[in-house]
Amino acid sequence: MTTPAERTNLLDLTPAAAEALLREFATARGVGAYRGGQVARHLWSPAAPDFQAMTDLPLAFRSELDAAFTLPRLELTTEQRSTDGTRKFLFRLHDGQTIETVAIPDGDRVTLCISSQAGCALQCSFCATGLMGFYRNLTPSEIAGQVRELALLPEPVKPTNIVFMGMGEPLMNWKAVQVVLTILNDPAGFGIGARHITVSTVGVLPGIEALAKRPEQFRLAISVHAPSDELRRRLMPVNIKFPLEQVIDAAATFSRRVTFEYVMLGGVNDQPEHASQLAALAKRCGAFVNLIPLHPGGAGAYTPTSTAGIQRFAALIAKAGVEVAVRKSRGTDIAAACGQLRVERLRRRPPRAPDQHGEIEVA
């Protein structure tokens, strides 16, 4: 009898690697390599919950698959619905860790905000996840599994966009995230366009380089939050390891357009001089600036900048010639606190070719 530990988790593999393995397996079992291809098509979209549900396969072969491979599920423990349609899902992992996923409908788009780590090591002073500390990296199947589980609900959630803005720092878990990016984008996975997938980071330099090397047009969002090293060090201890200047330089070499995220902290980073410093940084790397109203339920004793204050700050940035938007907070009544939001554009530049400009959906 094979124990689960000896079985291969197919959901930790890229679709191509899983298919190659399954074809080899099917051939060895004498059912024809095409049977392996059939199994591979059931992994992600549309997803089968388990091998037994793959009813186009012979019964005996399904049992053989069960003995050799696993398709681990995440246990959905809680779902909350906001009055604005935002839904927050809490999943329990095999070791008892819990992670959050948020689904944000907006017109005909549905953005999923997914987690890449259980907890987070970075301790940004305003962030709720930082308070809990770091537990562990998620595996590819635990990250992509969040999307898979929502597609398996009785009323499936079908995302048009994915943002790595849930718990954790995706570029400190690149080993898993790089596999997940393939699963999300590959037509044999979820088939979501690369320009609809955004990786959000505090500025982990090796990770930005690795993302830049990917041939797909994945989007990069940088959590800037302060326009000077001195202030950023206070808000984000990671700035000591990856200083703002170097992060901006890395963003400037990224071939695709970058988004700056900037959470508005009353009296801390929302003064006119911050706006001009931020605009100068954005110009250096052609970034689009997304201003984020502070989500209640974060950490620290911060007060949100008023709506009028955010508008004034945005107007200063726009006046400096930088494209800027204010995110609309979503799901505040259910503490969907990974800063989830709809973009309200204040100012549009003249349209550009879609591959240069793209839509900044939520990031």
* Contact pick of 137, 182, 223, 239 for ligand SAH (by CB under 6 A): 223
Query: Residue 234 Cβ, how far from ligand SAH at the closest point, in Å?
Result: 14
Query: Residue 286 Cβ, how far from ligand SAH at the closest point, in Å?
Result: 19
Q: Which is nearer to ligand SAH, 85 or 296 (CB)?
A: 296
Cα→Cα distances 348→118, 204, 240, Å = 37, 29, 34
Q: For residue 232, state whether it binds ligand SAH (rule: CB under 6 A).
A: no
* Contact pick of 69, 126, 174, 288 for ligand SAH (by CB under 6 A): 126
Q: For residue 361, state whether it binds ligand SAH (rule: CB under 6 A).
A: no
Q: Which of 64, 100, 142, 169 is catalytic?
A: 100
Element (H, E) at 233: helix 229-235
Query: Residue 342 Cβ, how far from ligand SAH at the closest point, in Å?
Result: 14
Query: Residue 180 Cβ, how far from ligand SAH at the closest point, in Å?
Result: 14
**Within 127-166, which residues bind ligand SAH (CB under 6 A)?**
127, 165
> Is the CB of residue 117 less than 8 Å from the CB of residue 96?
no
CA separation for the pair 250, 254 (Å, rounded)? 6
CA separation for the pair 251, 111 (Å, rounded)? 24
Q: For residue 201, state whether it binds ligand SAH (rule: CB under 6 A).
A: yes
CA separation for the pair 357, 354 (Å, rounded)? 5
* Contact pick of 42, 257, 274, 295 for ligand SAH (by CB under 6 A): 295
Q: For residue 261, state whether it binds ligand SAH (rule: CB under 6 A).
A: yes
Binding mask 167-196 for ligand SAH (x = CB under 6 A): --x---------------------------
Give the tokens for residue 128.
Answer: 């709720």
Q: Which is nearer to ligand SAH, 70 or 146 (CB)?
A: 146
Instruction: Indicate the residue whose CB is closest to ligand SAH.
Output: 298
Between strands 134-137 and 161-164, the pairing is unpaired
Q: For residue 331, state whether it binds ligand SAH (rule: CB under 6 A).
A: no
By CB atoms closer than 10 A (0-12, 13-18, 19+), residue 194 is middle
Q: Which is nearer to ligand SAH, 126 or 174 (CB)?
A: 126
Q: For residue 292, state whether it binds ligand SAH (rule: CB under 6 A).
A: yes
Q: For residue 202, state whether it binds ligand SAH (rule: CB under 6 A).
A: yes
Residue 206 CB neighbours (<10 A): 12
Q: Near ligand SAH by CB under 6 A, which window of 144-152, 179-187, 292-300, 315-323? A: 292-300
> Is the CB of residue 49 less than 8 Å from the CB of residue 73?
yes
Q: Is the dihedral of CA 29, 34, 35, 39 positive or negative?
A: positive
Q: For residue 337, state whether it binds ligand SAH (rule: CB under 6 A).
A: yes
Cα→Cα distances 58→17, 40, 65, 282, 312, Å = 23, 15, 11, 58, 65
Q: Which is nearer to ligand SAH, 10 or 268 (CB)?
A: 268
Give the tokens for residue 192.
Answer: 């979501």
Q: Which is nearer to ligand SAH, 22 or 336 (CB)?
A: 336
By CB atoms closer than 10 A (0-12, 13-18, 19+), residue 90 is middle
Q: Which of 113, 124, 127, 338 is catalytic?
A: 338
Residue 20 CB neighbours (<10 A): 16
Reply yes or no on whether 338 is catalytic: yes
By CB atoms closer than 10 A (0-12, 13-18, 19+), residue 56 is exposed
Residue 5 CB neighbours (<10 A): 6
* Count of residues engaged in binding ligand SAH, rule: CB under 6 A: 18
Give the tokens for residue 121.
Answer: 């090591």
46: cis peptide before it, omega within 30°? yes
Reply yes or no on whether 285 is catalytic: no
Binding mask 73-112 for ligand SAH (x = CB under 6 A): ----------------------------------------
Residues serving a catalytic function are: 100, 338
Residues that bind ligand SAH (CB under 6 A): 124, 126-127, 165, 169, 200-202, 223, 261, 263, 292, 294-295, 298, 337-339
